[in-house]
């Protein structure tokens, strides 16, 4: 289960991007992550996305979204 804290942190990072042909996607990011490369910590900006068609019942074309549902799908997509 995705915690409410994670949802609230990512909520402001979700944007609707309109694509040609009327299709749209949810873009999540950037999420700043520290990455250790050969003993040196670098900052990595992570992004992920979902096609709006995968979010049945959502209103992507109207710019509306359910951040909790999107975050759950993004996290499941990345770690499955």
- In this prediction, residue 5 carries a pLDDT of 80
- In this prediction, residue 9 carries a pLDDT of 77
Alpha-helical runs (H) found in 1-80: 4-11, 67-79
| Structure-token pair, residue 23 | 């299709």
pTM over 0.75: no
17-72 per-position pLDDT tens digit: 877 776 778 888 998 999 999 999 999 999 988 877 766 555 565 555 666 677 66
- In this prediction, residue 30 carries a pLDDT of 93
- In this prediction, residue 35 carries a pLDDT of 93
């Amino acid at each position: 289960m995705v915690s409410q804290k994670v949802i609230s942190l990512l909520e402001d990072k979700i944007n609707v991007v309109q694509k040609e042909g009327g299709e749209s996607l949810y873009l999540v990011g950037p999420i700043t992550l520290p990455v250790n490369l050969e003993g040196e910590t670098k900052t990595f900006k992570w992004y992920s996305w979902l096609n709006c068609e995968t979010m049945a019942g959502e209103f992507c074309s109207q710019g509306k979204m359910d951040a909790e549902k999107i975050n759950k799908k993004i996290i499941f997509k990345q770690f499955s």
